[in-house]
Amino acid sequence: MLEFWLFECGGGDAWFLDSTEESLGFILADYGFDVWVANVRGTHWSHGHVTLSEKSKGFWDWSWQDLALYDLAEMICFINLKTSSKIFLVGHSQGTIVSLAALTQPDVVEMVEAAALLSPISYLDHITAPLVRRMVSMHLDQGTFSQYDYGFFKNLRLYGQTKPPAFDLTRIPKSLPLWMSYGGNDALADVIDVQHTLNELQSTPELVYLENYGHMDFILSINGKEDLYNNMIGFFSSLGKSSSS
């Protein structure tokens, strides 16, 4: 399953914006994978609700952790029920922070065969993109990988504590195969922050480091297949499974 969200602005069609030879969605299909594409709340594909209007406040009353604990979890469960198999999970950008949070939940991880994360994000202490730095300072507890920070009083009401609870990356099982790729020119997934994430994990993921790659190069590079995707597909194939992606 492919998931891409850049702070709720992108949809799953981002996996098909490059040429048919370089877009990961097409490449996986050509290799015989059963490709599922995720779209969640906030994307242009999600403007519908059984009771709420998209103009109502309630329609937008959610945060990124809801994508991890509810949206992604339900999509993985749906695919698992439809295919009767575990899935290969692929995320980029906010899709990685949502994936990492979801994979700390035992009921989710038991339906996942392996995960591949492009530009993995959890800790955000060294980001250089100005807009994102402002968003982080407003709503995320820097220095931790935590749930949404609603402020002192709402945190106390929702979480029973003044600070949002942290997601414990050590809960991602050592037995879950992980593959990660990150770049030296990424203003969102800084190399130091990626290393912080790696230090928290029980396992040692397979890594691909690309010095000249920026954040969007991981899905839009004209050399993505050669630089990235062949390695990722080799990782999936080495597991000897025919799971859904």
Is 93 a known active-site residue? yes
Task: Please give the single-letter amino acid code of residue 21.
Answer: E
In the set 119, 149, 215, 221, the catalytic residue is: 215
In the set 71, 149, 186, 227, the catalytic residue is: 186
d(CA 150, CA 157): 10
Residues sharing a CB contact under 8 Å with residue 38, sequence separation 6 or more, in sequence order: 1, 2, 3, 4, 12, 72, 75, 95
> What is the length of the chain?
245
d(CA 94, CA 40): 11
Q: Measure the CA dihedral 58/64/65/71, to 10°.
A: 70
Is 215 a known active-site residue? yes
Q: Measure the CA dihedral 6/147/118/35, to 10°.
A: -80
Nearest one of 50, 64, 200, 180 to 120, comparing CA atoms: 180
Q: How many CB atoms lie within 10 A of CB 84?
A: 8
Is 56 a known active-site residue? no
- To which H or E segment does residue 193 belong? helix 191-200
In the set 18, 23, 92, 93, the catalytic residue is: 93
Phi, psi of 112 (to 5 degrees): -110, 125
Return the ∠ at Cα 46 (arms to 243 and 73), rounded to 5°: 40
Active site members: 93, 186, 215
